């Protein structure tokens, strides 16, 4: 596990360090092997409890084989309703304020707005600006829960379907495409917490095959999909959740008079979804590290500038690996998604 680079003073740092995760603050020197640069990941955090979400995704982003620098981002036009404004002001930047060309990838969290039409979400214009840029730049993206539904609608016109009741609990998913690098070696079953009022149906995915379903649960439906051309992952559930998150949501909903089924205590206590979350994010980050400079947003321009800065260094020394998100062949692993080889 490599170091995680977080903004200086972020409260999540203490919790992550207590869990044994190496965290570097701000611009402190980062120990890494010669020639291995940190990945820079934007975390667009639109969850209500921002500090908890920072810890949850920090755990998953710490699973890379190289340091990961996290840039905390909010969409333009987004006004936090419950977050401490001092926390937001100190640690977050607006999408329009960041240097997008420094990014290697982006994670966009869910938000409790799936009951609304996308156009009715107050910050939809800001989200659309992010989706537009990410899609046009082919920036590798991990869209989570509502963000996955929103990105599928924005990029492909895939509708979300209201469920009428909350789908809630921990559900084992069946992998549908072993060739996808994001599933490589992830142990089975693919347990994932589900907490949403809407779903994306297989029958609504584009008929041209541009969006590939990757994991499905008999009860909770589609849980994971990808668009290899856009380098987009659509993760419709919550493998980042803590062991007590579902229990806290259950108590909150019951207090509000919302009828939901109690989650299985055995699954929540064991946090059976942890291997799924760690595996998915580890694989995604590994693929980011393998992208050649020519496959990143600035492409050949960035490559030429680096060569010039290095006094004519070879393209190979400026490259960041040779494989993109596409090609993989099938191997095998017991009780895990088969390993794919590039």
Catalytic residue positions?
A: 145, 238, 240
Whether residue 329 is annotated as binding a ligand: the answer is no
Q: Are strands 232-235 and 329-330 parallel, antiparallel or unpaired?
A: unpaired
Q: Which of 6, 146, 10, 4 is nearest to 88 (CA)?
A: 10
Q: What gap in Å lies between CA 220 and CA 172, rounded to an integer?
A: 9
Q: Are 249 and 195 in contact (CB under 8 A)?
A: yes
Whether residue 195 is annotated as binding a ligand: the answer is yes
How many C-beta neighbours within 10 Å does residue 72 have?
A: 22
Which two structure tokens, joined as six digits, stand for 206?
Answer: 């584009």
Residue position matching structure tokens 């990838």: 105
Burial of 203 (0-12, 13-18, 19+ CB in 10 A): exposed
Helix pair angle (124-137, 146-156), 10° resolution: 70
Whether residue 252 is annotated as binding a ligand: the answer is yes
Spell 305-338 as b/e; 16+ CB within 10 A means b.
ebbeeeeeeeeeebebeebbbeebeeeeeeebbb
DSSP-assigned letter for residue 87: H
Instruction: State the virtual CA torsion across 295, 142, 109, 123 in degrees, nearest 10.
Output: 50
Which two structure tokens, joined as six digits, stand for 333?
Answer: 């692993």
Q: How far is CA 5 from CA 12, 68, 102, 233, in A?
A: 11, 6, 15, 23
Residue positions in the annotated binding site?
A: 166, 195, 252
Residue positions in the annotated binding site for substrate?
A: 166, 195, 252
């Amino acid at each position: 596990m490599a170091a995680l680079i977080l903004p200086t003073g972020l409260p999540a740092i203490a919790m992550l360090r207590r869990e044994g995760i190496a965290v570097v603050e701000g611009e402190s020197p980062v120990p890494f092997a010669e020639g291995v640069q940190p990945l820079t990941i934007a975390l667009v955090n639109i969850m209500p409890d921002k500090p908890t979400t920072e810890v949850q995704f920090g755990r998953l982003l710490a699973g890379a084989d190289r340091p990961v620098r996290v840039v905390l981002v909010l969409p333009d036009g987004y006004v936090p309703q419950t977050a401490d404004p001092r926390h937001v002001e100190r640690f977050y930047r607006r999408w329009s304020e960041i240097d997008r060309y420094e990014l290697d990838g982006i994670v966009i969290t869910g938000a409790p707005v799936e009951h609304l039409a996308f156009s009715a979400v107050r910050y939809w214009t800001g989200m659309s600006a992010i989706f537009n840029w990410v899609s046009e730049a082919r920036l590798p993206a991990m869209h989570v829960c509502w963000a996955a539904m929103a990105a599928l609608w924005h990029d492909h016109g895939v509708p979300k379907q209201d469920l009428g009741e909350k789908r809630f609990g921990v559900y084992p998913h069946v992998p549908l495409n072993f060739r996808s690098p994001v599933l490589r070696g992830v142990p089975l079953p693919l347990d994932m917490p589900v907490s949403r009022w809407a779903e994306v149906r297989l029958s609504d995915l584009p008929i041209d095959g541009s969006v590939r379903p990757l994991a499905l649960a008999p009860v909770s439906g589609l849980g994971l999909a990808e668009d290899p051309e856009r380098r987009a992952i659509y993760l419709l559930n919550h493998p980042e959740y803590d062991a007590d998150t579902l229990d806290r949501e259950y108590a909150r909903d019951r207090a509000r008079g919302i009828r939901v089924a109690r989650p299985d205590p055995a699954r929540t206590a064991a946090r059976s979804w942890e291997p799924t979350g760690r595996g998915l994010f580890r694989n995604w980050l590994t693929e980011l590290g393998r992208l050649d400079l020519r496959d990143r947003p600035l492409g050949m321009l960035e490559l030429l500038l680096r060569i010039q800065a290095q006094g004519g260094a070879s393209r190979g020394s400026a490259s960041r690996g040779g494989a993109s998100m596409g090609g993989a062949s099938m191997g095998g692993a017991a009780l895990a998604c088969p390993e794919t080889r590039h």
